[in-house]
Amino acid sequence: MRPPTGSEVMRRFTGDLVPRATRGPDGRYGPPIPVGRRVELPGRGTTFVREIEGPPGAPTVLLLHGWMASAGLNWYRTFEALGREFHVVAPDLRGHGRGLRSRRHVRLADSADDIGVLLDVLGTGPVITAGYSMGGPIAQLLWHRHPEQVSGLVFCATSTQFRRGVARDWFSDAWLGGLAGMARVTEPLAFLPAAGARLLRSARAHRPAGFLEWATEEVRRHDLRMLMESARAIMRYDASSWIREVDVPSSVVITNRDLVVSPTAQSELAAAIPGASIIEHAGGHTACSMPTFAMPMVDACRDVAWRAA
């Protein structure tokens, strides 16, 4: 008998929190997510997008992931369910996964502009934009800077500003600034572990990928300097002066056991947007990894799509 994989061992302790690998179109095994592709954004660089065609004529849902995640890591629980009813587009954001790389300091507004260009390239706008945690501010900025691209908004585990509560306690501006500066200085050394990771991937290319192996590989792709600068940008973000101007159908999925973005802050976001509906989910800030997360997301997108039609 072969020894159990890491995913199988983990599943014995966590049940279905770790999904089983499935066989993809290329014959290889991996997590139950759509195969992605690289997309060139004119004048900006290259990003990576996972996409599900959905039913003919279905509205498009754009999924924007949270900090330290990737599109695959954040939304693997929802791809299948959303894909039955919507055309789904899920990009990796700046500095995360296989998202766009830049020497510029990371600004959330630049990420929103990246998405605006991506939607032009794909020809999919206007879209229902769903943002989780960090993806929430980027979704807000996409509407604010490119309103013609947004037909509706769905927010999950997010707020209009993050400078209070546990998030503030964990991430001080000075600490994040120091880490970002250190990462920028040492960035030329990053090719050493990256080269080692490429060799490891080549040596293991023939093996079926369990979920934990795939997830580790996704995290390994992050750009450390851009990750730290993204965190600093999140902590400086504040849309409270203009969020009441949102004029598209919106829904807020409140993670009511969240210790990072408090349920109170999430409720205040919903109260600030005229006509926003609320759907509650009994989970914390990593609720997106729970098997029960798909249905609240589908319900929120359905609600917004029906009102936007």
Q: pTM value?
A: 0.83
Q: Is the CB of residue 40 less than 8 Å from the CB of residue 46? A: yes
**Residue 238: DSSP 8-state:** B
In a domain, 26, yes or no: no
C-beta of residue 271 within 8 angstroms of C-beta of residue 58? no
Taken in order 13, 17, 18, 23, is the CA torsion positive or negative? positive
Termini Cα distance of the chain: 55
**Low-confidence stretches of the chain (pLDDT beneath 70):** 1-31, 164-210
Identify whether the C-beta of residue 59 lies closer than 8 Å to the C-beta of residue 128. Answer: yes
For 144, the domain range is 32-308
CATH number of the domain enclosing 197: 3.40.50.1820
pLDDT tens string 204-220: 444 445 677 788 888 99
Q: Provide the token pair at 48.
A: 């990576």
Contact between 135 and 260 under an 8 Å Cβ cutoff? The reply is no
Contact 22, 29 (CB under 8 A): yes
The answer to whether position 160 is within a domain reads: yes
Q: Are 270 and 252 in contact (CB under 8 A)?
A: yes
Q: Is there a contact between 177 and 232 (Cβ–Cβ < 8 Å)?
A: yes
Per-residue pLDDT reduced to its tens digit, 148-184? 999 999 999 999 998 765 455 555 444 334 433 443 4
How many structural domains compose the chain?
Answer: 1
